[in-house]
Amino acid sequence: MAEFHKGAEAEDPFEAMAVFVDGPPGYDGAAAMARAFIEEYAMMGWPRERILRLFENPRYAGTHAVYHQRGEAFIHSLLDDVLCVAPAQEVRHA
């Protein structure tokens, strides 16, 4: 019977690599990915500060790449939007 599983060889030309793929014009893939991360962890009940730490920590490559490229203010804006935090000027006291 033929062997179907074998380990990678040192000369194997196939190496796993992450690549960016362009989306349609106007599509912001980095923002969509960051928003999806925030939504996922928010649905699991994570508080805002814990989610923010995922973006700040370089050990989490996907979230940290967006944090590095777009900055902390961008992440705070997404957190506000996903967690339904109204901007300060829109809050009205009854």
Q: What is the pLDDT of residue 72?
A: 96
Q: What is the pLDDT of residue 50?
A: 97
Q: What is the pLDDT of residue 22?
A: 78
Q: Please check the confidence at residue 32 and state whether its pLDDT lies above 60.
A: yes
Tens of pLDDT, residues 44-75: 999 999 999 999 999 999 999 999 999 999 99
In a domain, 34, yes or no: yes
Q: How far, in Å, CA of 77 to CA of 67, rounded?
A: 12
In a domain, 14, yes or no: no
One-letter amino acid of 36: A
In a domain, 2, yes or no: no
Q: How far, in Å, CA of 6 to CA of 25, rounded?
A: 42
Q: Please check the confidence at residue 88 and state whether its pLDDT lies above 60.
A: no
Decide which of 5 and 23 is more confident: 23
Q: In the chain, how many domains are there?
A: 1
Average pLDDT (7-36) is 82
In a domain, 45, yes or no: yes
In a domain, 94, yes or no: no
Q: How far, in Å, CA of 28 to CA of 7, rounded?
A: 38
* Domain span at 77: 29-84
